Amino acid sequence: MDTDANDARRKWDRVYAGTSTEPARACQVLKTFSYLLPTSGRALDVACGRGGNALLLAQQGLNTSALDISPVALDALASQAKVYGVAIELIEADTAVYRASEAEKFDVIVVSNYLDRDFCQRLPQLLAAGGLLFYQTFVKDRTEPDKGPSNPDFLLDAGELLKLFGALRVLQYVDLGTIGDVSHGLRNQAMLVALQEN
Ligand SMILES: C[S@@+](CC[C@H](N)C(=O)[O-])C[C@H]1O[C@@H](n2cnc3c(N)ncnc32)[C@H](O)[C@@H]1O
């Protein structure tokens, strides 16, 4: 593991060492559009943290894997999976170097509150034909600038998810910025549901 990856792992291990044992929650895009999920197949929760998305996917009956750089986060997810009585494959990995084999295509991939643009370029190759991507993370044009990362490298530009995943067919996209009555709608984040057609 290189220095950046070691720093990231240490930082996130510290964050998760201080968190509660409250069940982690799935992101809004996955909860809202969970009716699009298949009832069988393989799913991957990328940068899963304590794995709210992975737990939802496994409870849906999907053969679920969860990837994160932080072993402390993965331990917390392992405990929750036991409580829920679901099996989740835990992958301790850095998205900068993670590569799945041809045999390891996924029918569903979820990414929430995480942005690694190089990984996004490779992500469609991990999706099986007919596979769905659910993506939700923070944007630069926020109504509450203190919500989400302060480093602009980890924030989406307006319309950026559409550019990053231009090879996929867009089923849902929400990116409201600060337009209109900001007490309504998803703010601070953008969300995308997209389909790998072939
Ligand atoms: C803000 S948390 C989001 C967790 C979860 N997806 C959620 O929405 O609650 C960001 C996650 O990214 C993970 N992470 C950070 N850098 C990573 C990397 N290079 N590779 C894999 N995971 C990484 C952290 O350990 C952390 O769990």
| Nearest alpha-carbon partner for 161 in 126, 198, 134 | 134
Cα 70 to ligand 1 centroid, rounded to whole Å: 8
Domain boundaries, the chain: 3-195
What DSSP character marks residue 156? B
20 — pLDDT class (breaks 50, 70, 90): low
Cα 21 to ligand 1 centroid, rounded to whole Å: 17
What pLDDT is recorded for position 105? 95
Cα-based distances in Å from 52 to 78, 124, 161, 187? 12, 22, 22, 20
Q: Residues near ligand 1 with C-beta < 6 Å?
A: 5, 8, 12, 27, 47-49, 52, 68-70, 73, 94-96, 112-114
Sign of CA dihedral 93, 36, 193, 188: negative
Q: Are 114 and 47 in contact (CB under 8 A)?
A: yes
Mean pLDDT of the region 31-47: 98
What pLDDT is recorded for position 102? 67
Mean pLDDT of the region 110-129: 97
pLDDT tens for residues 146-170? 999 999 999 999 999 999 999 999 9
Q: Which CATH architecture has domain 3-195?
A: 3-Layer(aba) Sandwich (3.40)
* Single pTM value for the model: 0.97
| Nearest alpha-carbon partner for 149 in 4, 8, 6, 1 | 8
pLDDT tens for residues 65-111? 999 999 999 999 999 999 999 999 999 999 999 988 767 899 999 99
